[in-house]
Amino acid sequence: MPLPARNSSLGFQVSAAFVALILLFIAAGLHALGAFQRQLVYDALTDSASRLELAAERMHVQGMNYKRFAPRDYPTYYRDLELYYRDLMDYVATFDNEVGRFRDHAFTDAIPALLPWITPRVGIEVEHAIDRLSEVWDDYRAALFAALGDDLEEPRLEYAAEHSMAAHQQLSNATHALSWALRAWSERTYRAMLTATTVVAVLIALIALLLLVVLQQRVLAPLRTTIDGMRRIAQGDFGYRLSITGSAELRGLTTRFNQLSARLALLQRLIDRLQQGKDLDDLIDGLKDDFKALLGCDWVGVVVIDSTRSGARIETCRIDGARPRTSPRLFRLHGTLLEHALEHGDPLEIDDIPAETAANPEYEFLAHLAAQGMREALLLPLTPQTGAPLPAVVVLARRAPGRLEPEQRGFLGNLAQLMTHSFARTARLAEQQRLATVGEFVAAIAHELRTPISTVAMAFRHLEQQPLAERTRQRVMLGAEETTRMGRLLDDILRYARPLRLELVELDVHALLARFVADYRIAHPQPPLVLETEQQPRLLLGDPDRLRQIFTNLTDNAREASPPDAAIHWRITTNAEDEIVLEVHNQGDPIPEALRARILDPFVSGKPQGTGLGLAIVARLLEQHGAQLAIDSSLAHGTRMRVTFPPLAH
């Protein structure tokens, strides 16, 4: 990290402040330890100086007493020799020892061993006082031993006493000067220690205050601003942005926050456009600008797979924001990445389109993108699992080389499911609009055809009553049957097209189904119809006539699919949510897999003569009742249609 960036880093600044505080505390601790050591030295030196003062005074007093009570005979002299001379030599030894310790700074027997780097240094006045005392004592001692003489058996004590009295003042002044110098040194040391302690305390307080100000201004204030921004985003203001200021970490946090806000705003616009899109063209128009800004997408389109899953065509697309003028063409599907994406159902990222097409000539759609200069693509599959009425792939491509950034890939991964479901919803709406248009047209045609067909039916009934040749009669009967079938078809179309009105009442669906099964058995003895249920009321809110219509259509479908000798089973149960579940099950051939996703759409049928409206009418009636229809169909277990009604509210 460059030095300016490191200096602007909040971590560096806070760490530096804490290191300074730690160093100050260490310095304060070492200073206190040095002060303690100085106090020990001062106590030892003061004790030695006091002993010297005391010894000097005692030598003076002893000399005065000896002079005053000088011996008059030898016995008294020898007595004083035993007492006075021995004490005098003790005082001399005390002075020799203490003065030597001062001269040599040897106090290890009186104080603990000092650390070399915090050993106190006495002042110059103390050094001068020690030197002066050493000189005075040397002179005093030499004169004292000269007065005593060379005869150690009979020293001249009277002369020694006179010397003690005469030289006392000079020796006393030297010892007092040492004591005064020690006190002065101790006072200066104390004042220096007090000043240093005050300075350290002030520095610690200033650094702590500075650290508090830094945290307040560079951490807490920006965090409060960020929290306020998050609160505004939580309230729906996704366009809110923060100014990028403060330390390096907070600038990074602010940048991430602004990216989050921008992507939330993009997501909001995307959801609005996905919700407002009336058809695929409208939806693609809404997406091209947003994804251009997010990913640099130059090509956005929807590739639709045909019903036989043999080919793919571009349903709609935009290149550089405009609709291309080329006519739609069909591309190969088998063995391509389009098929791979549809089979796995996950978004597929293609890093190098030209390389893929060069290695796989069958990738015709990718070759089409490569011809328009595209380098990368993202495939978002629309499958029946996403609710799409037909398989398709949403394609986002761009010319710029280089893989998507991890953040872009993660963001797209989160949007992929939303986009696929929204595209599927839009495609489903478009398909429903197409079917609604077809239905309205067919209903209008059916209404216009009812009168002519009724006239033709009356003509056939009249002809059946006339004497005709056998061959002609057979043709008349065939025409009458076809006219009747066409009449039923027109009734189904009109029934599906007209608005539904329900007469809802509280009813026992078990009793209603039981009566229906009994009536149906009379009209259709084969195949057998079995009702499996417990003999207890199952109450729901419904229209009895519409429910019988539902039972009839479901049973008719089961009977037409079931083998003649295989029973059809109706069951009534309740699930864990206390919902009423009705099931009709047959052992016939399963519904073809290609039709399962669209079996409830109008005009979709797996039967050659089917109108494709029976299950569509059932689905509409169940939707009006708030019920759901689920279909399980397999070769091993047959087909099971499960209707789930909501529980009756009390």
Encode pLDDT of 499-515 as tens digits.
567 788 888 888 898 99
Amino acid identity for residue 603 in this structure: F
Instruction: Note the pLDDT of residue 633.
Output: 87
DSSP 8-state code for residue 562: S
Task: Confirm if 63 and 167 have CB atoms less than 8 A apart.
Answer: no
Average of per-residue pLDDT across 448-456: 69
Instruction: Note the pLDDT of residue 589.
Output: 84
Choose the most confident range, by mean pLDDT, from 6-15, 75-84, 615-624. Answer: 615-624
Q: Which residue stretches of 277-336 are H helix? A: 280-295
Report residue 358 as tokens: 């060069």
Count the residues in the chain: 650
Asked which of 53-67, 131-145, 231-245, 367-381 is least confident by mean pLDDT, the reply is 231-245
Amino acid identity for residue 348 in this structure: L
Task: Confirm if 584 and 630 have CB atoms less than 8 A apart.
Answer: no
Percent of the chain residues topping a pLDDT of 90: 2
- On average, the pLDDT of the chain sits at 76
Q: Give whole-number Cα distances, 356 to 329, 401, 582, in Å.
A: 20, 14, 52
Distance from C-alpha of 258 to C-alpha of 249, rounded to nearest angstrom: 14
DSSP for 521-549, please give it.
HHH--SS-EEEE--SS--EEEE-HHHHHH
Distance from C-alpha of 140 to C-alpha of 152, rounded to nearest angstrom: 18
Q: What does the pLDDT look like over 374-407, one tens digit per residue? A: 888 888 887 765 555 567 888 888 887 765 566 6
Asked if pLDDT for residue 312 goes beyond 80, the answer is yes
Asked if pLDDT for residue 118 goes beyond 60, the answer is no
User: 3-state DSSP call for residue 625?
Assistant: coil
Instruction: Note the pLDDT of residue 437.
Output: 64
Asked which of 169-178, 256-265, 358-367 is least confident by mean pLDDT, the reply is 256-265
Please list, in sequence order, all residues whose beta carbon lies within 8 angstroms of the beta carbon of residue 157, skipping any fewer than 6 positions away.
66, 77, 80, 81, 84, 85, 148
Residue 178 neighbours by CB distance under 10 Å: 27
Confidence at 538, pLDDT banded by 50, 70, 90: confident
Average of per-residue pLDDT across 90-102: 83
Instruction: Note the pLDDT of residue 1.
Output: 46
DSSP for 124-172, please give it.
HHHHHHHHHHHHHHHHHHHHHHHHH-S-SSS--HHHHHHHHHHHHHHHH
Instruction: Note the pLDDT of residue 643.
Output: 92
Per-residue burial over 189-203, b = 16 or more CB atoms within 10 Å of its CB, e = otherwise: beeebeebeeebeeb
Q: What does the pLDDT look like over 463-472, one tens digit per residue? A: 777 777 777 7
Average of per-residue pLDDT across 525-531: 87
Amino acid identity for residue 511 in this structure: A
Per-residue burial over 417-426, b = 16 or more CB atoms within 10 Å of its CB, e = otherwise: eebbbbbbbb
Confidence at 642, pLDDT banded by 50, 70, 90: very high
Distance from C-alpha of 631 to C-alpha of 584, rounded to nearest angstrom: 10
Instruction: Note the pLDDT of residue 583.
Output: 93
Task: Confirm if 103 and 130 have CB atoms less than 8 A apart.
Answer: yes
Residue 415 neighbours by CB distance under 10 Å: 20
Distance from C-alpha of 623 to C-alpha of 627, rounded to nearest angstrom: 6
Average of per-residue pLDDT across 98-113: 68
Instruction: Note the pLDDT of residue 349.
Output: 84
- Residue 296 gets the label, from left (phi > 0), alpha (psi -120 to 50) or beta, of left
Instruction: Note the pLDDT of residue 570.
Output: 92
Asked which of 136-150, 418-432, 440-454 is least confident by mean pLDDT, the reply is 418-432
Report the predicted TM-score, pTM, of the whole model to 2 decimal places: 0.40
Asked if pLDDT for residue 444 goes beyond 90, the answer is no
Torsion sign over Cα 551, 552, 553, 556? positive
Instruction: Note the pLDDT of residue 596.
Output: 74
Distance from C-alpha of 26 to C-alpha of 32, rounded to nearest angstrom: 10
Report residue 380 as tokens: 């978002």
Distance from C-alpha of 505 to C-alpha of 541, rounded to nearest angstrom: 5
- Picking from 552, 567, 538, the residue whose alpha carbon sits closest to that of residue 646 is 538
Apex 521 CA angle, 517 and 525, nearest 5: 150
Q: Which residue stretches of 10-123 are H helix? A: 10-68, 74-80, 86-104
Q: What is the 3-state secondary structure (H, E, C) of 323-353?
A: CCCCCCCEEECCCCHHHHHHHHCCCEEECCH
Identify the residue with better confidence: 286 or 150.
150
Average of per-residue pLDDT across 162-166: 84
Residue 616 neighbours by CB distance under 10 Å: 22
